[in-house]
Amino acid sequence: MTIYETIKAAISVKQAAKHYGLKVSRNGMACCPFHNDRYPSLKLNEEYFFCFGCGAKGDVIDFVARFFDLSSYEAAQKLSSDFGLDPKPPTAAAMVKPKHPYIRQFREDEMMCFRVLTDYLHLLEDWKVRYAPKTPDDALDDRFVEACQMLCHIEYLADILTVGDLEERVAVVDELMKSGKITFLKEYTARKKKEVAHRGEEPENA
C-alpha cells in the first residue's frame, strides 16, 4: 500500500478534523474552516468531506492539505506523524506549523474582535449624529471628529470579518490581537459608554 492508501484506510476525515480542533456534531456536521461559516455546513464522514456552503470537498489528505496549506505529500507525512502511523522521526514537512491558527482559538478571537468592532461602530454612529454641528459656525465636537475619521475604517474591518475569505479574516484578527488594538478598543468603548450612562441622556447639542 502507498502512504496515501495507508492513511486513508487508518484515519477518517472526521477523526482528523476533531484532532485538529474542529467541533464536529454527532451527525458529522461542523462549521467550515474554509469560509466564513456561521452555521455548520461542512459534512464529514469516514471517507470524505463536503461543504454545502463553499463546495470544498475531498478525502482526509485533501482536508489536511487545505487546512494547513500543504501539498498532498506534506499532508500525508503530517497525518502519518500526528497519528503515529510512521515510526520514523517526523520530517520538517510533518512538523510544519499551520499558517492559520487552530480553528477553535481563531473562532474565539474572531468573535471577540467582531463584538468589539461592532460595539465601537455603534458608538461612532451615535456620535456622528448626536454631536454633529448644527450650523457651519459651530465648533466641531471631538466625538464628531472621531466618528468622521474612524467610521469607514471600522466598517471595513467589520465587513471583512463578516464576508471576507479565510485569509483576509485571519490577517485582520491576527493584526488586532497582536497589536493590542482590540483590547484598547474594548476598554475605550466600555469607558465611553459608562461616561454616557453616568451623565444620563444627553441633549443632541451637548
pLDDT tens digits for range 153-172: 999 998 988 888 878 888 89
Say if residues 85 and 6 touch (Cβ distance below 8 Å): yes
Task: Provide the pLDDT for residue 100.
Answer: 47
**11 in a structural domain:** yes
Nearest to 131 by CA among 39, 204, 53: 204
Q: Are residues 65 and 128 in the same domain?
A: no
**13 in a structural domain:** yes
Task: Provide the pLDDT for residue 154.
Answer: 93
For residue 53, the enclosing domain spans 3-82
Q: Which of 53, 82, 111 is the last residue of a domain?
A: 82
Strands (E), the chain: 29-30, 42-44, 49-51, 57-58
Task: Give the cell for residue 56.
Answer: 470544498
Q: Are residues 60 and 107 in the same domain?
A: no
Task: Provide the pLDDT for residue 129.
Answer: 93
- Residues 20-79 have pLDDT tens digits of 888 888 888 999 999 888 888 899 988 899 998 898 999 999 999 999 999 998 999 899
**187 in a structural domain:** yes
Quickly state the pLDDT bin for 2 (edges 50, 70, 90).
Answer: confident
Its pTM stands at: 0.49
- Residues 70-125 have pLDDT tens digits of 999 899 989 988 888 754 544 555 445 454 445 677 888 888 999 999 999 999 99
Say if residues 60 and 44 touch (Cβ distance below 8 Å): no
Q: Are residues 170 and 107 in the same domain?
A: yes
Number of domains in the chain: 2
